[in-house]
Amino acid sequence: MEAKKVTEEEEESWRREIVTSVMRLVSTRLTQTDLISLLLVSPWLYRTLISYPSIWLNIDLHEMTNAGDRLLAALSLPRYRQVKHINLEFAQGVVDSHLKLVKAECPDALLSLECLNLNGCQKISDNGIEAITSICPKLKVFSIYWNVRVTDAGIRHLVKNCRHIIDLNLSGCKSLTDKSMQLVAESYQDLESLNITRCVKITDDGLLQVLQKCSSLQTLNLYALSGFTDKAYKKISLLADLRFLDLCGAQNLSDEGLGHIAKCNKLESLNLTWCVRITDAGVITIANSCTSLEFLSLFGIVGVTDRCLETLSQTCSTTLTTLDVNGCIGIKRRSREELLQMFPRLTCFKVHS
């Protein structure tokens, strides 16, 4: 009887150890909703899951309703005291008052937060940014895409409160001006990624401040910003580590400006869609210098011909996987076999109809 009892105890211990190990592996792959559902399975499983802080590093409320109240409820729970990532992308029901309540009621809850996604939270203003950033001293990634309420004052609060930002997405924040770029340039010289898509009030002078001081940039998104000129574009050459560059709609970019950008010879992705002043000369300069290109879009550029394509096939044939020449009327149709001869790794090729 005693031997049997010991065996049962050993089996129970083994079961708990194995199940616990399995849950640690599986739980990192489960959604937050599934994890919370597991808490209701049994008291033992609840205790087991709660005992692993690494499981509770994310709060994902994207596209949810009443997200402001859900955020407050989550942060009131001890298991989220080491949360590193909060995603409120396109969440509904998030306003400034929720972020102020987080600061008032959970001032220590976000001391470890590294990533905050407020994309599409259009009711958040400068006041909300001031409140939430004041309790996130370790924040590294901040995204507030498509918010027209945020002004330079909001960016001033951000740079004052969060000194370690390396990834900043301000896409669609149309009220921001060169002042915001000055603040970013002076405060985040280790910045690695910047997205100012459709920030139409930013001029050459604002962009130049970033290019001259944020030399660690690897990703730069200037999509749909037609106001910049070669004065700023030429200084992109200062970004020696640049991998991703989106210049879609850069109507003032010339071959000369593109020639300077070609000095960024680590480029892997380059979007020149609707850069209508570009010709073969500019693309050939890129091809000869940026031999690690994996993605290139020349969409809508009528000034390029097969000549630049032939150069690309000589210099980027081992790396290029996506090439968009839709609307490039000077580039002829080719069969799949012909394309693969020129670009063996090509998986996506778009050509005009």
Return the H-helix or E-strand segment holding 46.
helix 43-50
Ramachandran sector of residue 165 (left: φ over 0; alpha: ψ -120 to 50; beta: rest): beta
pLDDT in tens, 113-139: 999 999 999 999 999 999 999 999 999
pLDDT in tens, 197-240: 999 999 999 999 999 999 999 999 999 999 999 999 999 999 99
| Mean pLDDT across the chain | 92
Residue 160: is its pLDDT beyond 60?
Answer: yes
Contact 56, 32 (CB under 8 A): no
- Separation of alpha carbons 109 and 23, rounded Å: 25
- Separation of alpha carbons 292 and 311, rounded Å: 14
Residue 337: is its pLDDT beyond 90?
Answer: no
Question: Which of the given ranges, 53-67, 140-154, 323-337, 338-352, has the highest pLDDT on average?
Answer: 140-154
Of 183, 171, 175, 160, residue with least CA distance to 118:
171
**Res 4: pLDDT:** 52
- Separation of alpha carbons 112 and 134, rounded Å: 13
- The residues near 37 (Cβ < 8 Å, ≥ 6 apart) are none
Mean pLDDT, rounded, for 172-179: 98
The better pLDDT of the pair 302, 40 is held by 302
Question: Would you place residue 281 in the very low, low, confident or very high pLDDT band (cuts 50, 70, 90)?
Answer: very high
- The residues near 15 (Cβ < 8 Å, ≥ 6 apart) are none
- Separation of alpha carbons 170 and 173, rounded Å: 6
Question: Would you place residue 10 in the very low, low, confident or very high pLDDT band (cuts 50, 70, 90)?
Answer: low
Least confident of 5-14, 42-51, 81-90, 140-149: 5-14
Residue with tokens 């001293």: 137
Other CB atoms within a 10 A radius of the CB of residue 309 amount to: 24
Alpha-carbon 199 to chain mean position: 16
Residue 318: is its pLDDT beyond 90?
Answer: yes
Helix (H, G, I), strand (E, B) or coil at 88: coil
Of 328, 251, 253, 262, residue with least CA distance to 293:
262
Strands (E), 212-254: 219-221, 244-246
Tokens describing residue 36: 């919370």
Tokens describing residue 137: 């001293």
Report the share of the chain in percent with pLDDT over 90.
80
Residue 24: is its pLDDT beyond 70?
Answer: no
Contact 225, 248 (CB under 8 A): no
**Res 37: pLDDT:** 83
- Separation of alpha carbons 248 and 250, rounded Å: 6
Residue 186: is its pLDDT beyond 80?
Answer: yes
Residue 20: is its pLDDT beyond 90?
Answer: no
Residue 315: is its pLDDT beyond 50?
Answer: yes
Mean pLDDT, rounded, for 192-199: 98
Mean pLDDT, rounded, for 29-43: 80
Report the share of the chain in percent with pLDDT over 70.
92
**Res 212: pLDDT:** 98
**Res 53: pLDDT:** 83
Residue 3: is its pLDDT beyond 60?
Answer: no
- Separation of alpha carbons 57 and 69, rounded Å: 19
Buried-exposed string 274-291: b where 16+ CB fall within 10 A, e elsewhere: bbebbbbbbbbbbbebbb
Helix (H, G, I), strand (E, B) or coil at 325: strand
